[in-house]
Structure 1
């Protein structure tokens, strides 16, 4: 078997404009945003097709593009827009071939018809145009055996490059795509793409995994496939052009995960510190299954941030747990040890308590380190973040009250930390009094920004109100607390503080806190 040299992964975008004029605009935009290759989706050129100028439009774009062009004319039966005559569809691809397109993409299911339709004047190996044979599965990612069979068929049919795209119904499906690249991609240039949010990591780590290219959208809302990130994100945030097989990976595990600003925070700091690593979002249904995956359980994945709803289950996945995290009963940080096992930490509680102490100092004038001693802290929520807040407050000498939708869970946490349990109805009635109100739930997070965990009428009874939610920066809870005369503490302070400690645990380097804060603020404003 001939083992090919590994080539750099190409940043690619799909041009899905309805006519040549807009397509040329998009090509210029794509190149400016970092595209190494552009894909012309002929099946979207409806205006030119209607005018009978489709062939001329293909030729004009190939000649005008400053970067290599992939020409694709995807039929409706494989997720595209072309519902016309099959011979005319394939004829457009051969026109692209004759015009010197760098690549022509044909569906594996149509490969035999495509090659049979080759014009007599066409030279198949013209030295310019490479044939991509592609397979798309919009239902699932098949098992290893089926993926290998499809790949082998594409090679047998005459592919220069094989493209395999499939919907990932769980993030663990990406492991099969990575395995295909690791094995079959050594023989022939191969593209693998996991569609859906579960599969997005295959796109973000395409260069590390060895994919020939990866796709990014030119603009938000113009994605040509599910789970496609922006082209600029691939270039600047995830640094695909500098990834290699040796690049280490960190990520944030959660469900949902699309709202997370952790990648926007960690990746600039990794770049500034000169660390060859990439930090990615990971939509995970079951953390135990995820960590048992041969890919995500490997030593290349050196650390994970853990968010809702996995913080308590994550503790059970650790071979070793930091004593404070063990007492809290939840971890938000997993660090890979030299033997491949995981050690769990909780960086939430220090960051949250520091944010609250600083707000209390502003309100009372008492030094932050002593400002919670003897105070009553009412924590909304009894999940992982709630546990961190409750134990953190207790460590500082505060009296702790837990308010939760499930009184049973509130009581369990209260018993564990030596506090008192109440219902959310008790809190809403005004019968619960205290010095600090701390929301640890996701209530009020984008997109549900008008939700709030408790009525404004009770806020005036507290000196400080803290909200762990940081998108938006000022939640309805904080807005109403400020109007009630409370000192407020934003979830941004907690988020940046806990992330800085995570960064140090992941890399052994000190975090640039202000860079982290600026990166998050910039991301939120976008």
Structure 2
């Protein structure tokens, strides 16, 4: 195996020979280079050779016990017989845990992958453990730790710094560790483990094989070299992974975009900047937009005005904070009322107190609106409100009665289908909406939120959060790529089925 080649491994846990062969054939058809057979549910060593004979191409065999993240519960001798049967059956690689005394005899024609798995707290002597593994004559080393935060990437830094004589694949398991699997490829890992069906993953956080090939473009990652991603928690709902990775259809060599589910921005930035010029920057989402500000060496005027950033640019070791939410909100509203000066003198109410709400205040004031904030708690937002001469109201219908807005921007997660709020939730009483009002809901998943639908029913001009998302994403791309970004219609088309969703429904278009 050459050092510049990554092999996509479809990891499967079959229950029988026929089942395993069928799963392997499907994996090969979908683009897998290797098939890993996890024999955790196997009991008969005599059938292992039949499984391998029925599977053309390179294979890996492993058999994990519960302490190592597997489900094999037989005795050690039974497990060893399965591994020996795989060696005799012609397996390409055999995965042996660091504690396993068995090793194929010289001349057996099989490569040894020595592995260490820990799904609890990482051991203090991790480097020492892997150093000892490296002296056992392996052909490659594998280390898997549990991720509780994407910033746990720093647990692996010392291992990659060791410069072992054999290839190392070290990554984090679990959803927050998804990016670590791909970043391991950038660091020279020989294997990228994938699943072929979400309900058949053999370890938490495995990427789908199609996702690895088509979205993250794993085969060409090393050639592109650069990456960026989305930092926040949660991040799984974001369209960013699809949008920013498919942008290469328009911009050759665009960096790969990864999810970084993290609540520890300082630690995350420290480990990502250790990649040097390969790290291009981050998109920032809740709840981190304000927390990233102190980490920046420089802030744009919009970021300074908001006291929050949604974009971090890494340039020669310096961190620049930008706020493209302001651009996105302003552009989305102007799609609703494109006439120049259309918002001047209008009364605009913003629901929320986070980074997006602050960006909405700045954008609306740029457009000439009189702005008020409707918040659950004044704590944490009072200073911003005073600085921007913004009135504060509670989140209820009385805010609408007192302020009488004709522009509404919703900037909370309520209505988002990602676990932070039920899809059926809406903070706004539909009786507070009326014809002639402009309503922008910054939630974009689902596109047609309850608030969006209520606005349409009331005869208001309804602006989808997807509109704002596309505009701010385009500005992010311009900053990160340092080049002209694709047009809004081009970006919209990259979203597949969502490209058919309307971005704005104007009051004049109602039934």
Same fold (TM over 0.5): yes
Shift of the alpha carbon at 1:109? 1.2
Match of 1:393 in 2: 364
* 2:146 is the counterpart of 1:164: no
Q: CA deviation at 1:276?
A: 5.3
Aligned to 2:63: 73
> Partner residue of 2:503?
none
| Superposition pairs of residues 177-326 of structure 1, within 5 angstroms | 177-185=156-164, 187-244=165-222, 247-270=225-248, 272-275=250-253, 277-293=255-271, 295=273, 298-326=276-304
1:174 is aligned to 153
Match of 2:449 in 1: 475
CA contact (8 A) 1:467 1:491 kept: yes
Q: 1:27 to 1:310 in 2, by over 3 A?
A: same
CA gap of 1:426–1:489, structure 2 versus 1, over 3 A, is same
C-alpha change, 1:64 and 1:182, in structure 2 (3 Å) is: farther
Give the aligned partner of residue 26 of structure 2: 29
Q: Is the contact made by 1:379 and 1:389 (CA closer than 8 Å) also made in structure 2?
A: yes
Query: Contact conserved, 1:16 with 1:224, CA < 8 A, in 2?
Result: yes
Structure 1 residues 103, 523: CA separation in 2 closer, same or farther (over 3 Å shift)? farther
Match of 1:373 in 2: 344
Preserved contact between residue 255 and residue 308 of structure 1 (Cα < 8 Å):
yes
Q: Which residue of 1 aligns with 2:46?
A: 55
Q: Is the 8 A contact 1:39 1:70 kept in 2?
A: yes
Q: Structure 1: give runs of 5+ residues left out of the alignment.
A: 362-366
- The Cα shift of 1:80 comes to 1.4
Indicate how the Cα distance of structure 1 residues 521 and 466 shifts in structure 2: closer, same or farther if over 3 A, else same.
farther
- Are the counterparts in 1 of residues 69 and 203 from structure 2 also a CA contact under 8 Å? no
Distance in 2 between residues matched to 1:277 and 1:358, nearest whole Å? 29
Q: Is 1:140 aligned with 2:121? A: yes
For 2:155 and 2:481, the matched residues in 1 are separated by 28
* Alignment match of 2:335 (pick from 324, 342, 358): 358
Q: Say yes or no: does 1:39 pair with 2:47.
A: no
Matches within 5 A, 1:336-347: 336-338=314-316, 340-347=317-324
Which stretch of the first structure deviates more once superposed, 478-487 or 489-498? Answer: 478-487
Quote the offset at 1:522 in angstroms.
Answer: 4.4
Cα offsets for 1:453-503 (capped at 9, x unmatched): 222222237612111111111111111221222211011111111111111
State the alpha-carbon separation in 1 of the partners of residues 35 and 441 from structure 2.
Answer: 44
Instruction: Please state how far the C-alpha of 1:350 moved relative to its aligned partner.
Output: 1.6
Q: 1:179 to 1:265 in 2, by over 3 A?
A: farther
Q: Distance in 1 between matches of 2:342 and 2:67?
A: 66
Residues 169 and 189 in structure 2, CA contact (< 8 A), matched pair in contact too: yes
Q: What secondary structure does 1:252 align onto?
A: strand
Pair 1:292–1:523, CA change in 2 (3 A): farther
Deviation at 1:299, TM superposition (A): 3.1
Partner of 2:383 in structure 1?
412
1:364 corresponding residue in structure 2: none
Deviation of 1:297 (Å): 7.0
Aligned equivalents of 1:102 and 1:86: distance in 2? 22
- Equivalents in 2 of 1:458, 1:55: separation in Å? 72
- Which one of the candidate residues 305, 320, 325 is aligned to 1:348? 325
Cα gap change, 1:398 to 1:385, in 2 (>3 Å): same
For the aligned residues, what is the CA RMSD?
2.3
Residues 294/516 of structure 1: CA separation in 2 closer, same or farther (3 Å cut): closer
Matched, 1:487 2:464: no
